[in-house]
Amino acid sequence: GQNIDQPTEMTATEGAIVQINCTYQTSGFNGLFWYQQHAGEAPTFLSYNVLDGLEEKGRFSSFLSRSKGYSYLLLKELQMKDSASYLCAVRDPYKAGAGSYQLTFGKGTKLSVIP
């Protein structure tokens, strides 16, 4: 089956660093995605990892360990606008129909950045 776990809520201070963890158990694996979703808005793409290691993109970095079924999103120099939900999603090639890959989403981590 499919199981993706993330902390429900986190709070961090403006200017600090925060790490949001995601663990997954899926039938297959072909990539892990992080999306940001502000309240009442649509999710927007942040990062994609398919190989082990760290992918850095500005203030945001994402790490993947396929053997451990584990990923984290690292946010540096936190800003108030980073207050949002962060969704971890896994692409499982064995879940979907032939020739198609679909994403399974976690419930998201609601991050609150305080002054």
Partner 1 sequence: EADIYQTPRYLVIGTGKKITLECSQTMGHDKMYWYQQDPGMELHLIHYSYGVNSTEKGDLSSESTVSRIRTEHFPLTLESARPSHTSQYLCASSANGEKLFFGSGTQLSVL
Q: Are 101 and 92 in contact (CB under 8 A)?
A: yes
> Is the Cα torsion angle 38, 81, 10, 23 positive or negative in sign?
positive
| Contact call for residue 91 and partner 1 (CB under 8 A) | yes
Shortest Å, Cβ 62 to partner 1 = 14
Rounded Cα–Cα distance for residues 75 and 34 (Å)? 12
Shortest Å, Cβ 45 to partner 1 = 5
**Residue span binding partner 1 (CB under 8 A) among the ranges 18-26, 62-70, 72-80, 97-105:** 97-105
| Contact call for residue 42 and partner 1 (CB under 8 A) | yes
**What phi-psi label fits residue 31: left (phi over 0), alpha (psi between -120 and 50 degrees) or beta?**
left
Spell 72-93 as b/e; 16+ CB within 10 A means b: bbebeebeeebbbbbbbbbbbe
| Contact call for residue 53 and partner 1 (CB under 8 A) | no
| Contact call for residue 60 and partner 1 (CB under 8 A) | no
| Contact call for residue 100 and partner 1 (CB under 8 A) | yes
Contact residues toward partner 1 (CB under 8 A) are 4, 8, 31, 33, 35, 41-45, 48, 87, 89, 91, 95, 97, 99-108, 110
